[in-house]
Structure 1
Amino acid sequence: MADPHPPTSTSLCCCRKPLPVPGRPGADAARARRPHPGSARCPLVDVASASNFQSFQLNHFHLDLRLNFTLKEMTGWLVLDLFPIQPGIDTLVLDTHPSLLIHSIDCKMPGSTQLDRPVSLTYRVDPFTDYGSSLNISLPGVVVQRGKGFQITLRFTTTDGPATWWLDPPLTCGQSQPLVFTLGHSVSNRSFFPCFDTPAVKSTYSATVRVPEGVMVLMSATRSSYSKPDRVFHFSMQYPVPAYLVALVAGELKHVDVGPRSRVWAEPCLLSCALNKLGGSVERWLAVAEDLFGPYPWGRYDIVFLPPSFPIVAMENPCLTFIISSILESRDFLLIDVIHEISHGWFGNAVTNATWEDMWLSEGLATYAQRRITTLAYGEAFTCLETRFRLDALHRQLRLLGDDSPVSKLQVTFEPGVNPSTLMNLFTYEKGFCFASYLCKLCGDVSRFDAFLRVTYISQFKFSSVVAEDLIELFLDFFPALKEEGAAHREGLEFDRWLGGLGAPLYEPDLSAGGVLTRPVHQLCDLWADPAPDPNALAAFDLSTWTSFQTVLFLDRMLDRCPLPHEVMEGLSGAYSRLLASQSAEVQIRWLQMVVRSNYPPEIPAVRSFLHKHTSRMYTVPLYEDLVAGVMKCVAMETYSQTQGRLHPNLRRSLQQIIFQSPNPAPSPPPNPSPFPFPPSNPSPLYMRRDKFSQRHSPCCIHHATSIIQHVSSYSHGYDRLQRGSMSGNQR
């Protein structure tokens, strides 16, 4: 069960502090002086936020919205319950966005009643960055009284900001009704509503949403009531969440229960498939997670499957995970993605990184938790196979970027004006996972580390926001023997080096248990290294019995060798093309990238067919980039002209830039020798799938790691800030 008495104030925010040194006094005293969970007063600075969140405690906010699908607007108001915590403050500064139109702002004075008229406040909007603006609200002295709270009401309209995605019927799965959803990670929700857009601030919230007839509304909260005559939905989130986890989706959505506390929502045409893939599994995964990390904190765990225009793979909104419907094609990838988002219920949502520089606290620990769950649910071999697949991708990425790439740090430092989404990459997930695995190894037993996470880390910091040093200090206090022996300062494995060092992880867990699944992949790759492989030896490998991760690992290794000779492609096509065409898009796109990179004409019709069927960014962008980089630009232009009407406007702009505005040369060879049998080339799409956002636009794109490209468009977390793209606030 969820905590019946949740805190209602903002999160714990801690300043940067050096790691404790054995024998150095004062660590306990420093902890005693640290703000308690729920405190908002701290010296923390978030350069991605224009707000003065350090000066106020946000206890609660309420959204009242009316959705207009014709105008593609949301109009309404926002009520903030604030408490001043610093003296002499005469201005409230919130994060906003040029696409968000402010109509008026007023204030209810401390001690006023319902009959008292609110006071109109003056305000101005100033530029901040290309992903947002600052809303400066002047506060009369009688408003900001020490020890007294007050209410601010803002009336506004959202237009075409980066957080809000309006889909016309042709862009939905059913193609009959429009749909809208919001996506706030990392810093896009400032275009949804004015807010303290920083993970350091958490509060409870409620919402009222008015919609046209026949529209279902869901939010990252519990639906408290629905008035059918008025078509008004009411929601309540009783646990503190940061602004980026406030989410909404509205459209023709139906549901089916898949467990006692879980249901799947989707357009009607998807429901039976979703039930078939997830029925009974979600509760099993939740139960395993609870055995490991304690009671699930959020009450319900529902899932909504969104159309292919959804720009990322999945988003861990509390109570309601958003997942792209394309993933339903692959059981293995679906279960990994859902389990990863379940893990965020503890790591990322309940305990949140206080700064975007520490995103690994969310993604790295969630990846660790995900793999603990899959180990217990599906065995160690399966988990090791999936981990090997991801770590291979990490090393490919590192070879493309170079060992000295600043984005390879766990605790990334970014300058004012840089969108936090551009800093999220495979290192956030996999290097963070490796550090968690190293801490687990120091404990001597995985159950001891799980116990630390459950009874100490989650228990102490639940519904708070923390920095890396909080985790480390708590860890060393929980294991005093490690603290005494100086485990944080072991030569070559120093915790400071883990957090701030460049390059590959300093430690990787033992994955030998996955050998039973990875060994056949390596053997088949070795056979195809011969231009004329033995047909009898090849016949011993039946790919139809392989897991999806085995198949994509094989194709990834073959992609490393591209371009392949015509006779090799002919052999691969004859052996596998029919089988691969019947498998998921995750498998198909790898084979088709091999076709394009090797310039193998007999399979080009399959490339066209794939791009006609799949309109998701994660599947279209990599193939179009490969087509343009090679000798098949005419195929790209022809296919785009035939399919552009079914693509989301953001994706159309991306593809137009790829096809028409850039020569898009093939990437330079990696600077470092490959530890794999074949030299690497462009990474294929699932190398980046664990990164939340699978789209191309990012200040640094893995497909072109040798050149830094600034793009005008852009999750959101932009899943691939580094690799295939970022969904940041400047995307529109």
Structure 2
Amino acid sequence: MRSSFLMLPLAVALVAGCAKEPAAPTVDPVAQKPAAAVNTVSRSHDESSYAEPDKVVIKDLALDLKVDFDAKQIGGTATYTLEWKDKAAKQLLLDTRELTVEKVEAMAADGTATALQFALAPADKVFGSKLSIETPDQPTSVRITYHTAPTASGLQWLDPAMTEGKKLPFMFSQSQAIHARSWVPLQDTPSVRFTYSAHVTSRPDVMVLMSADNDPKAARDGDYAFKMPQPIPSYLLAIAAGDLVFEPISERSGVWAEPAMVNKAAKEFEDTEKMIGAAENLYGEYRWGRYDMLVLPPSFPFGGMENPRLTFATPTVIVGDKSLVSLVAHELAHSWSGNLVTNASWKDIWLNEGFTTYVQGRITEALYGTEMAEMEREIDQTDLLNEVKDMSPADQALALPPLNERDPDEALSNVAYVKGAWFLQFLEQRFGRAVFDPFLRGWFNDHAFQSANTDQFVEYMKKNLLPKNPSAVTDAELKAWLEEPGIPAFASKARSRNFAVVDTARIAFLGSSALPSNQVTREWNTQEWVRFIDGLGATQPIEKLAVLDKGYHFTGTPNGEIAMRWYPLAIRSGYTDAQAAAGEFIQRVGRRKLVLPIYAELLKTPEGLAFAKEVFAKAKPGYHPITTASVEDMIAKAEAAPKQEAAPKQ
């Protein structure tokens, strides 16, 4: 997932059978939170789930669901094929959030259904409700009839007015990290992988897609079937429905999007097949069949989500010059790091995101050159070094301590992405690509379709990499990367040649207020403009910002990477000419990475707080629940904090 890099305050149709009437559900008297790890032997223990995978695991999931746009809910049945590991186990524990469970049944091979007793615990604000199912006979198949709530945290329902085409409603899921439990009862932990199939019905004028074998030629008729033969963790379960059409890129890749967007997206992403080839040359066969992308409405809270076979992508990366297609490289890279080999718990999220950011850089380098990859690395590393200044030491380690009662969404930071990739770059530099590339390819192959933890990676590294050059890396250096805060002093920083030109042009402008020559700036890409703005400092005189704005039209820019930097600078500097456009931007776009920095600056003054609340009231109906929760938390904290005066005009 390409996420927000900010630590802000922030089934095929089921077999029918003779079913007995189910027993009425009972309710646990006390909500039991996931057990905290105490002297955990394995880092694979997941504190964010009620499930007990050491006793029983879901091996296959069969869904039979109806998507109801009027009620804003998904409902139907989920049937689980179970593998019992503990012969003494008498319960199946699942994760849920705001689900209404109507009945639970054990399913016999002949389709006969027998009611099972179940209890739904009171909701924990982070982890939802534990669903306890009494299974004294350890059935191999269990079926749950349920429906979601309109407020499900993992689903967003958009009215037609909130879509590109303005004609049909739209719905999509976001299951990572622990939101899958809000639309399917599951062992919602990355340590459990399962295959799945689904039969989904909906209104006949919308196209339904899932993270499975979507047929580009499927008829839009309201009745759809899907199959995912490779085992996936719950956070990669995904669904979307709307006015969606398909445009091919290659025989195994293409774009789904609303009609008005699909051709632009296909053009922007036309290098996808080349990216797949570059990744295969490095790390082996792409094992998921098709690689398609779904361009979502601007409300999607993240840059992208690596749902297997169907990456969900924000439209904010479609800027016309391919300068932001590293997002596609990132989500594609997850096909090896994350989807193929998955972190067993969220405290080892760096095994997903750090590896993926590293692989993304290698794909970018192969297609667009070393300089482009180096620019992106330098931007990432600079952002991380700024971020860790205000971060707790424990959160700066790659191998995080047990999350216990923390929401894994809040534990995710730039550390997992950039420090993780930086560590792998360090290993590459010490051993050389001739050694490191086969090692990383071996890690993916040897752990394919498995979940792993940091301890397992270190063990694999000590067996398969370190002996290649025993003096290349010390135990103290490994500890500094994995367990200690910050970036090790011995880490080599990325250095872009192009940025030296950008820095020279900026210094000259700050000294003379004369814009850099058009011969210098006309070929600049997004990364170079980001570098230019980032180097302007916390504030600038209004007159200088006005000169920049007149010359480069930053205010009103459609480029989100520029907007998320320009508008905070303008707000801090008191450049009020940009405020209306900033409000329009955060009302239109729901991607957290892009809007949260702007809210953060607005909330620092009483005037800005009032403006932010006014804009948020208009934006909220189109925001994803994840973005809404983040902004509401920021506003609440701003209202409770002492206020400072608006930035003086300079």
TMscore range, shorter length: 0.7 to 0.9
Instruction: Verify: 1:60 aligned to 2:60, yes or no.
Output: yes
Partners of 1:332 and 1:547 within 8 A in 2:
no
1:94-109 to 2 correspondences below 5 Å = 94-97=94-97, 99-109=98-108
1:509-567 deviations in whole A, cap 9, x for unaligned? 4534x21x11012112322443x44x3x8336632310100101111121xx2222233
Change (3 A) 1:155 1:645: closer
Aligned-partner Cα distance in 1 for 2:494–2:162: 42
Which residue of the partner structure matches residue 429 of structure 2? 441
Partners of 2:604 and 2:638 within 8 A in 1:
no
Partners of 1:17 and 1:469 within 8 A in 2:
no
Which residue of the partner structure matches residue 8 of structure 2? none
1:571-597 deviations in whole A, cap 9, x for unaligned? 333443x36655523213422222211
Which residue of the partner structure matches residue 118 of structure 1? 113
1:641-660 to 2 correspondences below 5 Å = none
Structure 2 counterpart of 1:119, which letter?
T
Change (3 A) 1:237 1:519: same
Partners of 2:430 and 2:472 within 8 A in 1:
no
Aligned-partner Cα distance in 1 for 2:315–2:156: 16
Decide which of 570, 594, 611 is 1:595's aligned counterpart: 570
- Name the SS for the 2:364 alignment partner: helix
Partners of 2:65 and 2:201 within 8 A in 1:
yes
Partners of 2:153 and 2:625 within 8 A in 1:
no
1:694-713 to 2 correspondences below 5 Å = none
Aligned-partner Cα distance in 2 for 1:621–1:554: 21
Decide which of 384, 402, 407 is 1:414's aligned counterpart: 402
Decide which of 528, 546, 559 is 1:584's aligned counterpart: 559
Q: CA deviation at 1:284?
A: 0.6
TM-score (norm 2): 0.86
Change (3 A) 1:313 1:70: same
Which residue of the partner structure matches residue 251 of structure 2? 260
- Name the SS for the 2:246 alignment partner: strand
Change (3 A) 1:665 1:524: farther
Which residue of the partner structure matches residue 624 of structure 1? 599
Which residue of the partner structure matches residue 553 of structure 1? 531
Change (3 A) 1:488 1:206: farther
Structure 2 counterpart of 1:262, which letter?
S
Aligned-partner Cα distance in 2 for 1:242–1:381: 36
- Name the SS for the 1:451 alignment partner: helix
TM-score (norm 1): 0.77
Structure 2 counterpart of 1:88, which letter?
A
Partners of 1:64 and 1:76 within 8 A in 2:
yes
Instruction: Verify: 1:430 aligned to 2:418, yes or no.
Output: yes
Which residue of the partner structure matches residue 452 of structure 1? 439
Change (3 A) 1:405 1:138: same
Change (3 A) 1:227 1:384: closer
Partners of 2:187 and 2:234 within 8 A in 1:
yes
Aligned-partner Cα distance in 2 for 1:130–1:642: 26
Greater CA deviation, 289-298 or 613-622?
613-622
Change (3 A) 1:63 1:641: closer
Greater CA deviation, 518-527 or 305-314?
518-527
Aligned-partner Cα distance in 2 for 1:229–1:376: 38
Identity among equivalent pairs (%):
27
Which residue of the partner structure matches residue 722 of structure 1? none
1:234-293 deviations in whole A, cap 9, x for unaligned? 1111111001101000111111001110110011111121122123x1101101110010
Change (3 A) 1:220 1:295: same
Aligned-partner Cα distance in 1 for 2:222–2:617: 40
Q: CA deviation at 1:639?
A: 4.7
Aligned-partner Cα distance in 1 for 2:556–2:221: 48
Greater CA deviation, 634-643 or 261-270?
634-643
Aligned-partner Cα distance in 2 for 1:153–1:605: 52
Which residue of the partner structure matches residue 86 of structure 2? 86
Instruction: Verify: 1:136 aligned to 2:112, yes or no.
Output: no
Partners of 1:434 and 1:505 within 8 A in 2:
no
Change (3 A) 1:615 1:175: farther
Aligned-partner Cα distance in 1 for 2:547–2:239: 49
- Name the SS for the 1:542 alignment partner: helix
1:194-273 to 2 correspondences below 5 Å = 194-223=185-214, 231-273=222-264
Aligned-partner Cα distance in 2 for 1:485–1:313: 40
Decide which of 274, 281, 292 is 1:291's aligned counterpart: 281
Partners of 2:353 and 2:416 within 8 A in 1:
yes
Aligned-partner Cα distance in 2 for 1:425–1:238: 32
Decide which of 504, 516, 539 is 1:538's aligned counterpart: 516
Which residue of the partner structure matches residue 672 of structure 1? none
1:357-390 deviations in whole A, cap 9, x for unaligned? 1110110111111111111111111111110001
Q: CA deviation at 1:118?
A: 2.0
Aligned length: 605
Aligned-partner Cα distance in 2 for 1:46–1:652: 26
Partners of 2:276 and 2:286 within 8 A in 1:
yes
Aligned-partner Cα distance in 1 for 2:196–2:603: 47
Partners of 1:629 and 1:663 within 8 A in 2:
no
Q: CA deviation at 1:133?
A: 1.5
Partners of 1:100 and 1:191 within 8 A in 2:
yes
Change (3 A) 1:658 1:138: closer
Q: CA deviation at 1:54?
A: 1.1
Aligned-partner Cα distance in 2 for 1:616–1:437: 29
- Name the SS for the 1:54 alignment partner: coil
Which residue of the partner structure matches residue 526 of structure 1? 507
Change (3 A) 1:651 1:17: closer
- What are the ranges of 5 or more consecutive residues in structure 2 without an aligned counterpart? 1-37
Partners of 1:434 and 1:507 within 8 A in 2:
no
Partners of 2:300 and 2:624 within 8 A in 1:
no
Aligned-partner Cα distance in 2 for 1:294–1:598: 50
Partners of 2:168 and 2:206 within 8 A in 1:
no
1:104-183 to 2 correspondences below 5 Å = 104-109=103-108, 112-114=109-111, 117-127=112-122, 129-131=124-126, 132-140=128-136, 143-144=137-138, 150-159=140-149, 160-183=151-174
Aligned-partner Cα distance in 2 for 1:643–1:430: 31
Q: CA deviation at 1:226?
A: 9.6
Instruction: Verify: 1:508 aligned to 2:491, yes or no.
Output: yes
Aligned-partner Cα distance in 1 for 2:86–2:335: 32
- Name the SS for the 2:325 alignment partner: helix
Change (3 A) 1:542 1:349: same
Aligned-partner Cα distance in 1 for 2:238–2:228: 11
- Name the SS for the 2:192 alignment partner: coil
Aligned-partner Cα distance in 2 for 1:529–1:419: 43
Structure 2 counterpart of 1:257, which letter?
P
Aligned-partner Cα distance in 1 for 2:607–2:318: 30
Partners of 2:207 and 2:220 within 8 A in 1:
no
1:287-324 deviations in whole A, cap 9, x for unaligned? 11100100101010000000111111110000000011
1:80-137 deviations in whole A, cap 9, x for unaligned? 111211121111111112x11101111135xx434xx322100101246323211111
Aligned-partner Cα distance in 1 for 2:302–2:203: 27
- What are the ranges of 5 or more consecutive residues in structure 1 without an aligned counterpart? 1-14, 19-41, 669-680, 682-732
Aligned-partner Cα distance in 1 for 2:611–2:220: 52
Q: CA deviation at 1:487?
A: 3.5
1:603-647 deviations in whole A, cap 9, x for unaligned? 444435545654554444432332332464354455556666655
- Name the SS for the 2:339 alignment partner: coil
Partners of 1:625 and 1:664 within 8 A in 2:
no
Q: CA deviation at 1:418?
A: 1.3
Aligned-partner Cα distance in 1 for 2:382–2:529: 14
